Structure 1
């Protein structure tokens, strides 16, 4: 059997996607509101990212100021994504909120087309309707939602998070592949913390002392779903076509649904499962190498 190539960008993106998939579960277990979860996950992640970024600077030198500006802009969008995504978890559950976040699969390639002229290709346009239908079914916007959920506000919050996340991914791709891995993630996380802190304070408020249990769950989420995930995804996106990168990140909702069912007792309906099946099929179809 051939050894697994850990430098394979597809493998890196898929691994990062799996790490992110557990984030919603940790947010729900923490019991914190949108502003608190978004701000504290950034603050906790910075404790791990700062030493890594400083060590990287000593090893490979400073990052260009122009690229730092891209990192800041990406981080501002990431902060918006964090707040609205946690809000959607409250309304539609952790697993479905992760599905909604992946509206980026449609937005990310379109941003690349609009700003850099990278054409998605025929396969993207053919699978896009199925991707969007899968997201709509999984959220409960079409078909039967999970009892106790609020698909309307959940879709609104999730769609906002997905668009912001797509912008983050696009700017990350523009600034990636320049020899730095930890520095851009660190700067983006700092910017995300500022943005989520301002937005969260104005909207839900921020509890800086939610209790040790909540802090523990948020710390696990920050290390797994943010530090590790973004360190894997950032370099991978710079080496992948926009459509392939966006599609591989759609593995998140499939894994998240399994985690929500097993560990949180969430019970998506049959139509929601059908939507997840469409999402998974679209991932497989879009990310296959062209022949």
Structure 2
């Protein structure tokens, strides 16, 4: 494993806060923060729209402070329209992922979001004419098979109330997240990361309102305990976890970064087991292993190309391609 010790000169407050720390420790801590978000959503007992809205609303003041600092440090003008459009996909992801968690389990729902490893290269091929890596034709069917098993389609599941519906929600969330990754990849740079994420968070909160209000799934007056869980979700997942990962990955070798990102789904399953007493069935565990193996195999292929890697579930930086970005990102 190799790392580059010097922080990016245009990384704004991220480099200022994380530049001297070991990037491997930063990445590990950030991944575990993101892995914990599914647990926080489940214990809040809120709907997907409610958890998504409050996650965005409570994170925005902190992101605004960081965005202001970034603008002063880098003096690089940020794009506006593309991050806002990217946030529509992020909001869809937040809402549907929140609905998947109680139905399929916090850990398994996070594992299922690895479907974006298939979707992002396909989107890049259709819209950007970027040919997938040769490994893709082996990764895609393997990953899909693992996702079907992990989702509890076959056999019994004790991790959620409706695993099949949870699988559908999680896959749809992965599609929304894939669109977010691709659009933000096109609009963001190391000098505008925080501002791009802030704009995406605004439109993600808007999506939660649009999807939640008509169906009575948005609670604008949650209890104090639930509000406390939402505050933890916003700080841990939307700000701290993203800050740590965004500060670490540009300084890590591609192979190291790809491997570190696997801590997210693994950590989510572990947290679900330890904190929520979730016990995936045997076939679900086999599916989780297959998903991890497929993502790891794909990441080894992406590691051959030098690139500034993207963050995992929250904001890509200037990676060399949407494919490389996808292979090193696992959700929120």
Q: What's the TM-score, normalizing by structure 2?
A: 0.76
| Separation in 2, partners of 1:205, 1:246 | 36
Q: Is the 8 A contact 1:17 1:249 kept in 2?
A: yes
Aligned length: 287
| Separation in 1, partners of 2:244, 2:210 | 28
Aligned match of 1:281:
293
Q: Is the 8 A contact 1:43 1:193 kept in 2?
A: yes
From the two aligned structures, give the one with the greater helix fraction: 1
Aligned match of 1:41:
55
| Separation in 2, partners of 1:215, 1:35 | 14
Aligned match of 1:167:
179
Aligned match of 2:73:
59
Aligned match of 2:126:
114
Q: Is the 8 A contact 2:117 2:295 kept in 1?
A: no
Q: Is the 8 A contact 1:173 1:238 kept in 2?
A: no
| C-alpha RMSD over aligned residues | 3.2
| Separation in 2, partners of 1:164, 1:233 | 21
| Separation in 1, partners of 2:278, 2:258 | 26
34-43 vs 208-217, greater mean Cα deviation: 208-217
Q: Name the SS of the counterpart of 2:186 in structure 1.
A: helix
User: Which of 177, 189, 196 is equivalent to 1:177?
Assistant: 189
Q: Is the 8 A contact 1:247 1:283 kept in 2?
A: no
State the Cα distance separating 1:156 from its structure 2 match.
Answer: 1.6
Distance 1:109 1:17, change over 3 A: farther
Aligned counterparts, 1:201-220, within 5 A: 201-220=213-232
160-169 vs 29-38, greater mean Cα deviation: 29-38
State the Cα distance separating 1:167 from its structure 2 match.
Answer: 0.5
Q: What's the TM-score, normalizing by structure 1?
A: 0.86
Answer yes or no: is 1:20 the counterpart of 2:34.
Answer: yes
Structure 2's unaligned 5+ residue stretches are 9-22, 306-332
Aligned match of 1:190:
202
Q: Deviations over 1:122-149 (max 9, x none)?
A: 1122122221111111110234322653
| Separation in 1, partners of 2:32, 2:121 | 21
User: Which of 80, 100, 109 is equivalent to 1:88?
Assistant: 100
